[in-house]
Amino acid sequence: MSNNRVILIHGLHQNAWVMTPLARRLNQQGFYTHQFGYQSLKNNITTHSLKLHDWLKTHHDPSQAIDLVGHSLGGLIIRDFAARFPQWEINRAVTLGSPHLGSVCADYAWRLVPKLVGKSYLDALDGTIAPFDSEKLCLGIIAGNKPRGLGQLVLNYHQKKQSAESLPPEQYSHDGTVYLFETRLEGAADHLILPVSHTGMLIDKTVAMQTAYFLQHGHFKH
């Protein structure tokens, strides 16, 4: 069992408490967790990473490795943080429903009602996040394929504009907010698809088990 501190990072329109069910399950398995909170709409991703860096400087021994788990936008913060502050030793990281290639939902929101995504769109949800270095970050990706939530209205509209018959199934499968193909990232250590929705994955027992397994072993239990 790893004794590393596990930092849990929530997504857009959320607060740190939303990670509580996952934190409890990880704690039950012997992990030492912290639920990191930030203002997802008010500030940009650079500010989010800097805030995490400042928190660690105050509360964490830099000689000790950390593990990171991020939901949606939180997973993109992990990538930005790892690239921006390489002095922190990150053992392993897991992203949950994070749009590593950018978000179609966020694109529509940015064009129609920019306030819905705020400052977290540019350099993050628009797909221009910091490059991923697989040699510096062992990353596991969990994606959902259970379409639930208001986001599916946007994605269904988007699909009607595409030639669905010419696209592979994964190209139009999603968790209600993020397409499966948006979660993929070249160089990631492992990628796992589970029957969960974008927000439902935060309370799912299998997601918690697989997150713990990856943090322990560097790959999911297939």
Of 161, 173, 203, 145, the closest CA to residue 23 belongs to: 203
Beta pairing, strands 90-96 & 190-194: unpaired
In whole angstroms, give the CA distance from residue 221 to residue 201: 17
Q: What pLDDT is attached to residue 84?
A: 96
Structure tokens at 188: 């990631």
Other CB atoms closer than 10 Å to residue 70's CB: what's the count?
Answer: 25
Q: What pLDDT is attached to residue 153?
A: 55
In whole angstroms, give the CA distance from residue 111 to residue 107: 6
Contact 210, 194 (CB under 8 A): yes
Q: What pLDDT is attached to residue 34?
A: 97
Contact 96, 77 (CB under 8 A): no
- What's the whole-model pTM score? 0.91
Average pLDDT, the chain: 89
Place of tokens 């990191």: 36
CA 15 vs. chain centroid, Å, equals 14
Strand partners, 143: 193
Q: What pLDDT is attached to residue 75?
A: 98
Contact 76, 16 (CB under 8 A): no
Residue 187 per-residue DSSP state? T
All structural domains of the chain: 5-102+118-143+180-217 (3.40.50.1820)
Q: What pLDDT is attached to residue 20?
A: 98
> Which stretch of DSSP H or E encloses residue 210?
helix 205-217
Convert 147-170 to b/e letters by CB count within 10 Å (16 or more is b): bbbebbebbeebbeeeeeeeeeee
**What 3-state DSSP class applies to 91?**
strand
In whole angstroms, give the CA distance from residue 203 to residue 210: 13
Q: Which portions of the chain are predicted below pLDDT 50?
A: none
**CA-to-CA dists, residue 57 to 30, 46, 60, 63, 215, angstroms:** 24, 17, 6, 11, 23
Q: What pLDDT is attached to residue 107?
A: 75
